[in-house]
Chains A and B, each alone.
Chain A
Amino acid sequence: MLSDDDTRAEFARMRETVLREVRPPGTAAAHLTLTRRRRRLAAASSAVFVVAVAGGVAFAQPKPGPPVTTPLVIETTEAGSAAPPPDTRVHPSLPETTALHDVTRMRVKAGNAGPLRFTFVCSGSGSGRATVKSETASVTVTVTCGTPPVSTPIELDAPPDPAWVDFAIDWDAGTRLTVTPDGWALQVLDAEGKLTIMQRKST
């Protein structure tokens, strides 16, 4: 049997000969590898961001065909101001405070089959009854507005395929939206993005 010292000596010889053959790629190569990986990671993150934004846009696209009959209705507190255009996501003239009456309607495309989860986020005061309908289900919840903005989650059974979902919010009298410092007053969020229903156009 080899003694401990003999074994150590064998390994030492082996180490010496192998060391002669080892060519370290060097720390510059390690730095380069890291830089490449970080760039790749940054590119992948950008791609995810683009997908998320695209999801939000798809979410907001109205279905071609018959128009939504009662679009967003806003009555401004400023006397004489023009009525906002229907189904407009950006309101250049949206004042700090907007009184709402009647029904706010939207039609959005649900990106995926499966349980649909949305969250209304409302800045202001008051409340309204939001009804969300797909081809197979209908759910009504009370949307509350507050300062800071209040979130109201809503869950809807899945339509069989990606499908259109109709929202209708029947506002209580006296409900007012208040524009947040970020320039929006009402949003609908889903897992893929957000649809800003009322937003002041940035200049």
Chain B
Amino acid sequence: MTDFDEFYAAHYADLVVQIYAYFGDRQEAQDVVQEAFCRALANWRRVAGYDDPAKWVRRVAWNLATSRWRRARTALRYLLRQRAEEPVVDGPGPERVALMQALLALPDAHRRAMVLHYLADLPVAEIAQRERVPEGTVKSWLHRGRLALAAHFTEVENDAVR
């Protein structure tokens, strides 16, 4: 097993979860993360020398996902060519649907902060640096994100009780 294989095995799935949580499309998240890994492989000698190669891949995947509409057609062709058959899985449970709905209702910046902090485990300082805002702003985004999630869960619970 090469360094790249180990790196891929260690980070692929987690990056998919993060991209999915932000963009709300798992299939597309898998696709952009795979593409990001392809690019890492093409430049592996350089990328492997970075302090945190996963950070590089996440950034590339994130950028790719951001321009997803432009790339949607290519992604579709890629999927049709690459995947012989899609595994059949159960649909998402109600908790996840609720969380995804709540996340997707958040403003972009708040959602990014939530995903990077709670899924990618980035500290507030790093998110602030990445978003080019003061740390206080990120804390405020996280606070509002938690409020919105709580409100959404309460609403869902109330609906369930009725």
Contacts and interface: CB of A to CB of B under 8 A. Distances in A.
Interface of A: 1-4, 7-8, 10-11, 13-15, 17-27, 29-31, 33-34, 37
A2 B82 contact: no
Nearest to B21: A14
B149 A27 contact: no
12 contacts: A1-B150, A14-B95, A14-B96, A14-B99, A19-B13, A22-B16, A22-B30, A23-B30, A25-B83, A29-B82, A34-B38, A37-B42
B87 interface: yes
Interface centre among B17, B34, B42 (most CB of A within 10 A): B17
Interface stretch (B4-12, B58-66, B125-133): B4-12
Contacts of B68: none
Interface size on B, as a range, is: 35 or more
Contacts of B2: 27
The 9 closest A-B pairs by CB, nearest first: A11-B118, A2-B150, A22-B13, A2-B146, A24-B12, A18-B17, A30-B38, A1-B150, A21-B89
Interface of B: 2, 4-5, 8-9, 12-14, 16-17, 20-21, 26, 30, 34, 37-38, 41-42, 82-83, 87, 89, 92-93, 95-96, 99-100, 114, 118-119, 145-147, 149-150, 153
A24 B150 contact: no
Overall SS of chain A's interface: helix
B153 A2 contact: yes
A23 B8 contact: no
B146 A7 contact: yes
B34 A30 contact: yes
A23 B13 CA distance: 8
Contacts of B150: 1-2
Nearest to B16: A22
A21 B145 CA distance: 26
A4 B123 CA distance: 13
Contact of B41 (A1, A7, A27): A27
A25 B118 contact: no
Nearest to A9: B118
